[in-house]
Structure 1
Amino acid sequence: MADVRDVAKYFISLSTETTKFAITPLKLQKLLYYAQGYYLRETSNPLFNDDLLAWDHGPVNRTIYDEYKRHGYYTIPREPFDDSLLTEKEKEIIKNVWYEYGDLDGKTLEELTHQEDPWLFTKKNQVIEKELIKKFFSEQVEHALVR
């Protein structure tokens, strides 16, 4: 199982700072949620053990929030990443999520998560249960990552 910090750093390593493929803290949080969902769908296991919380702006991992909040609404600078810290399957799912959602901004991703059951059915500031995420993504045939 991956460390949530490594998953975040891998997403950041895929970003391009001055384009629509830049990553802000808000966007990073939503990408982590989608990566967790698709990984649960594909493997029945979580990508990372850390919880996602149902905050006002959608699913949030507290560890990553604390680490990147200093960037506010601004782009997180790209940083090198040792991708040997992740398995091939982990990298495959993360890349697929990036290809599917990487060109969307954080606000658009927030709006998407606000329409999805895991966030809708979890009380504010509570843990979004991994089983709820898994169930939702497993039922979303039309959102299958096919790349």
Structure 2
Amino acid sequence: MPNKEDKVFLVANYFLKKNEEDGKGLDPKKMQKLLYYAQAWNLVLNHERLFRDEFQAWVHGPAIPRVWQTFREFNFIQPHPEILKNNFMELDKKEKGVLDMVWGVYGKYDGNYLEVLTHSEAPWQEARKDVASDKPSQNIISTDLMQRFYAQRLTETTAARA
């Protein structure tokens, strides 16, 4: 099992493989948002962090700096052939379930749409409340707030379907 330091890249590679299978296009902005939603929904559904990295409330939405540094030069991220052979045994069944759900819900959208979506949600807004919309920020998005906000979303969605 990878340590939580490396797990963010394991999750990124999982999304790269899903993208290769579905051919939807995956740029660095979209990758950041998929990682954000994976962390958020894992907090809600599995009651723990998926990886240790924290998200900063950047102008274009939640971002992990070291992930951005790794992928920033790519218009569209192409997976290394070894990634496509990976069966991701390091991820447990519950984690894969969350990642597949995140891909199914959010993977169909581009990075710009996901940016607008994250900007409309309380965790990013709260982290940037004292920062001008066009100014850089390294403010951390609270995982506690992420968990509460998306748990409430789940409750509302479940109630609406009942």
Same fold (TM over 0.5): yes
User: 1:44 aligns to what?
Assistant: 47
1:25–1:75: 8 Å Cα contact kept in structure 2? yes
Moved more, 27-36 or 78-87: 78-87
User: 1:27 aligns to what?
Assistant: 30
Distance 1:36 1:76 in 2: 20
Instruction: Report the CA distance between 1:87 and its aligned residue.
Output: 1.2
Instruction: Report the CA distance between 1:58 and its aligned residue.
Output: 0.3
User: 1:113 aligns to what?
Assistant: 118
* Structure 1: 4+ residue segments shifted above 6 A: none
Distance 1:78 1:104 in 2: 19
Secondary structure at the counterpart of residue 85 of structure 1? coil
Aligned length: 141
1:10–1:83: 8 Å Cα contact kept in structure 2? yes
User: 1:138 aligns to what?
Assistant: 151
Q: Which has the higher helix share?
A: 2
Distance 1:143 1:63 in 2: 33
1:39–1:46: 8 Å Cα contact kept in structure 2? yes
Structure 2 unaligned spans of 5+: 129-136
Distance 2:22 2:54 in 1: 30
2:33–2:61: 8 Å Cα contact kept in structure 1? yes
Counterparts in 2 of 1:18 and 1:32: CA distance versus 1, 3 Å: closer
Instruction: Report the CA distance between 1:75 and its aligned residue.
Output: 1.0
Moved more, 21-30 or 1-10: 1-10
Instruction: Report the CA distance between 1:17 and its aligned residue.
Output: 8.3
Larger CA Rg, structure 1 vs 2: 2
Structure 1 unaligned spans of 5+: none
Across the aligned residues of Structure 1 and Structure 2, the Cα RMSD in angstroms comes to 1.8
